[in-house]
Amino acid sequence: MSVVEMAVEKVRQLDNDRARRLLAWLETQEKAEAGQPAPLGAMAMLGFARSFHPQQRTTNEWMAELRTGEGD
């Protein structure tokens, strides 16, 4: 079963009020995505490292981690 089919099954189980709220939320997500152009160049990488290390770190902390790999 595909992810889309699983989502459709999940939505079928909702009552009308919850399905209406879900639809409204999806519409706001589409509008937000449509209003923001995709970042270009180096700006496209912002936030990528956060997917691996969610907590903020200083430049010195990042550099120390990178330098530990230099000896390998």
CA dist 42 and 49 (Å) reads 13
pLDDT for position 62 = 85
> What does the domain layout of the chain look like in residue ranges?
3-68
pLDDT band at 2 (very low <50, low <70, confident <90, very high): very high
CA dist 53 and 50 (Å) reads 5
The token pair at 44 is 């496209």
Tens of pLDDT, residue by residue over 24-62, are 999 988 887 777 777 788 877 777 777 787 888 899 998
The pTM score is: 0.43
pLDDT for position 3 = 93
Q: Does pLDDT of 70 surpass 70?
A: yes
